[in-house]
Amino acid sequence: MLGPLTLRPAQAALAVLPLLAAAPAAPPAAAQGPAVLERAPAAAEKQPAARDPVPIPSQEARILPALAARGMVASQEARATRIGVAVLKQGGNAVDAAVAVGFALAVTLPQAGNLGGGGFMLVHLADRNETVAIDYRETAPQAATADMFLKADGEPDRDASTKGGKAVGVPGTVRGLAEAHRLYGSGKLSLAELIAPAERLAREGIGVEGGLADSLPQVAGLLGRWPSTRAVFFNGDRVRGRGETLVQTDLADTLRTIAEQGPDAFYRGPIAERIAAAVTAAGGVMTPEDLAGYAVELRKPVRGSYRGYDIVSMPPPSSGGIHLIQILNILEGFDLAGMGAGSAASLHVLAEAMKPAYADRATYLGDPDRVKVPVTGLLSKAYAATLRAAIDPQRARPADAIRAGDPLPYESDQTTHFSVVDAAGNAVANTYTLNFSYGIGLIAEGTGVLLNNEMDDFSAKTGAQNAYGLVGSDANAVAPGKRPLSSMTPTFVFRDGRLFLVTGSPGGSRIITTVLQVIVNLIDFRMNLAEAVTAPRIHHQWRPDALRVEEGLSPDTLALLRAKGHPVTVGATSGSANSVMRLDGLLAGASDPRQRSTLADGY
């Protein structure tokens, strides 16, 4: 069993420590061996001229990362982070810690942490210098149909895809975390030992505080629709308030069953039957057979390069990795550093590079097991050059002026992210979700499991927008057993063969641009990790035609952006980019201050 979890956060205020002497790192190159693995080459391919390593920040830096010598965990919830650090201290590796964090967040961050959702995990195996992509995304039930989210008049039925049983995809989280542990865990800690801290928190109860206390009043109507959910999150006729205790006994029992019997206990037998019954009673089409048939997919990560750094990220059915690299390819032709961080010139170029990527996303991306995605073409630097040439440095292009490009000739909120690095250099970037905050709000009776509404990530019809405003096509149409398209972007950055950065974020359609800006802030603008995560962000996704900007940019900058033709909207918070950077002899961690209760900690 894991020991006490009372760990002090790593202290980061001592400027005598070299915070950001960028430990050179480069990405794995062409895949060798099994298709799901990528092995770094002995010598990196020729890359564009690299900038000097990120400099050490002065002791006057306003925002500093947490520091640790051996292991680091950055997540959206402090109790889960401390559980991960405890696992590392007991000799577990990064995968062990990530699995423990993933189960803990199902208890402490019910808005997004989950057993009833799904996601994506990247694992870096330091001893083999290989990267593995684990796809545990939800799937459509076998009774799903292409028109299941259309009204009689042929228009999308948004309530059907977000609020009822039809919205629930077959969950993959339990199978995904267990498979990661089976394949890549250290062998020192059993799955039961990694689940035990989560079970204890669920059974003994957690204080309603931080982000949990903030979120519950906002979703009282959603949760209050379901008697099984009211029994957990309500105290009488109101949601549990700040300072009260949230006990989740049914969830604790489910966690204990998984610990004792393994992941099959979630996908077959009483738990699966209760989940399917809850979905069916809510108007859905899921059956116990759908759960029994769920399988994790191991995939080949996508790769790119940016100013001498190498980017490794999640492949389809996530759109995140492809379009992160596509946008970086476009940006590589601009001198962002010369423009300056937060300048109207650099923000304009960022926004203009985002637009065509999202137009391509709407046209080409889907489940790679069902549609052919032109991955090589979309990642091509030659294709990026054609997109870059269409950017006017002085004037924004309206959405109507942008269409999906032609990459084919080159072919041969609520989610949460956590990052983990261990003493051996193994790393995990994991992003998983229920889609909306608390999913559809329904707890399957007797399980404690909140159910997702991931089916909204399919295209209800070609050209229709989902709840995040993302436009879909036939490539992402609903089909039995199919995985819906995602924007989740767990990402590694390497330099000179060594891991440099582990990052990712929640945020729906904003995930890609959040990860993008963390990378650009580090590489182009020489920020330390905490500054890179904290800096104000922008987002443009082609449609709707709006440049979303966080608070913190100067009125003068906003005026200049509007003068260039950008329809600026101010105020939207973007993501929670909990990140870890590997330095010379140290690990730096940064939890995103946009969410309460986040923590980066290590030892």
Give the span between the Cα atoms of 342 and 489, in whole angstroms.
23
The conformation of residue 121, written as its DSSP 8-state character, comes to E
Residue linked to tokens 């923590």: 599
Both structure tokens of 104: 């803990």
Whether 584 has a binding-site annotation, put simply, is no
- List all residues 6 or more positions away from 313 whose beta carbon is below 8 Å from its beta carbon: 122, 301, 302, 303, 304, 320, 321, 322, 324, 325, 489, 490, 491, 492, 515
Q: Amino acid letter at 532? A: A
108 catalytic? Reply is no
Whether 186 has a binding-site annotation, put simply, is no
Q: What is the phi/psi pair of residue 490, to 5°?
A: -60, 135
The conformation of residue 278, written as its DSSP 8-state character, comes to H
Whether 576 has a binding-site annotation, put simply, is no
Q: How far is CA 222 from CA 10, 229, 250, 280, in A?
A: 38, 9, 20, 18
What is the torsion angle, in degrees rounded to the nearest 10, for the CA atoms of residue 90, residue 91, residue 95 and residue 99? -20
Q: How far is CA 461 from CA 88, 155, 156, 376, 378, in A?
A: 46, 8, 7, 27, 24
- List all residues 6 or more positions away from 338 whose beta carbon is below 8 Å from its beta carbon: none
- List all residues 6 or more positions away from 237 whose beta carbon is below 8 Å from its beta carbon: none
Whether 508 has a binding-site annotation, put simply, is yes
Q: Which of 189, 198, 8 is CA-nearest to residue 87?
A: 189
Say which of 139, 229, 415, 557 is annotated catalytic. Answer: 415
Angle of the 78-89 helix axis to the 94-108 helix axis, nearest 10:
150
Whether 433 has a binding-site annotation, put simply, is yes
Q: Amino acid letter at 472? A: G
* Residues 591, 451, 182: CA angle, nearest 5 degrees: 65
Q: How far is CA 129 from CA 31, 42, 465, in A?
A: 11, 10, 40
Q: Which of 144, 403, 480 is CA-nearest to residue 285?
A: 144
Whether 435 has a binding-site annotation, put simply, is yes
Whether 190 has a binding-site annotation, put simply, is no
Q: How far is CA 423 from CA 153, 154, 199, in A?
A: 58, 55, 27
Binding residues for L-glutamate: 137, 433-435, 457, 486-487, 508
Binding residues: 137, 433-435, 457, 486-487, 508
Positions marked active-site = 415
